Each structure stands twice: as structure tokens, then as C-alpha cells.
Amino acid sequence: MVNEDLKIRTKDFAIRIVRLFAALPKTVEAQVLGKQVLRCGTSVGAQYREAQHAKSDADFISKIEGSLQELEETAYWLELIDELKMFGSDKLQPIRAGKKELTAIFVTIAKKVKERKKN
């Protein structure tokens, strides 16, 4: 059940990112930053889904950590979009909250698998 919930959450996160991109101003700067956040923000769920078919615990951890890297990159681009006032901070808050929640979940998953490998 956790797998399905996380699939839904990561897909919902990606949908929010796509909608953010669509709502950004059509300036060159906003579109460049938007494409960056679009790429990494939608990649989180894809990495997680790949992890579901990992060949080993090490492969699984690598893909989960890949999702974490994409989340961090997403946060960076969101910061730039916010600081350059390309999108309202209040409208970015739900995406940032989702990023924070997903990060906590993926960190917990990676720690549990690493701990299991030790034992």
C-alpha cells in the first residue's frame, strides 16, 4: 500500500510542477528556469518507479537517492523562481511542502534499506 501511495504522491507532485511551468511568464528567463524545474520535478516519480524494479538493494538505494537529488534540484530552481519574483511565493508553498514531505519519505526509505543491508 505504501508503494501505491508514494506513486500517487510523486505523480501529484509532478502534476503540480507541470502546472507551475504552464503558469510561468513567457519571458526567456522564466521559461529557462521553468524547463529546469519541469525536468527535475517530474523526474522524481520516474526515479521512484524505476526503483520498484531494482535488481538489488544497492540499485534500489541508488534510484531512491536519485529521487532525492531531483528533489534538491527542484528546490533550487523553485528558489530562483521565487527570488526573481516570477511566481507568487504563496503559490509555491504547496510545492515546497510536497518536496519536504517526499524528501523525508525517501530519506526514511533509504535509511531502512541501508540498515537492513547491514544486518
| Residue 119 forms part of a structural domain | no
> What is the average pLDDT across 47-66?
96
What local confidence, expressed as pLDDT, does residue 51 receive?
96
| Residue 89 forms part of a structural domain | yes
- Is 56 a residue whose pLDDT tops 70? yes
CATH number at residue 65: 1.20.1440.60
> What is the average pLDDT across 37-50?
97
Rg (CA), the chain: 15
| Whole-number Cα distances in Å, 39 to 4, 61, 74, 118 | 23, 21, 9, 34
* Distance from C-alpha of 109 to C-alpha of 53, rounded to nearest angstrom: 15
- Is 39 a residue whose pLDDT tops 70? yes
> What is the average pLDDT across 74-95?
97
Q: How many domains does the chain have?
A: 1
pTM of the model as a whole: 0.93
* Distance from C-alpha of 19 to C-alpha of 114, rounded to nearest angstrom: 35
What local confidence, expressed as pLDDT, does residue 62 receive?
97
Q: Are 5 and 72 in contact (CB under 8 A)?
A: no
| Residue 103 forms part of a structural domain | yes
| Residue 57 forms part of a structural domain | yes
> What is the average pLDDT across 35-55?
97
pLDDT band at 116 (very low <50, low <70, confident <90, very high): confident
- Is 1 a residue whose pLDDT tops 70? no
Q: Residue 41: give the domain boundaries.
A: 2-114
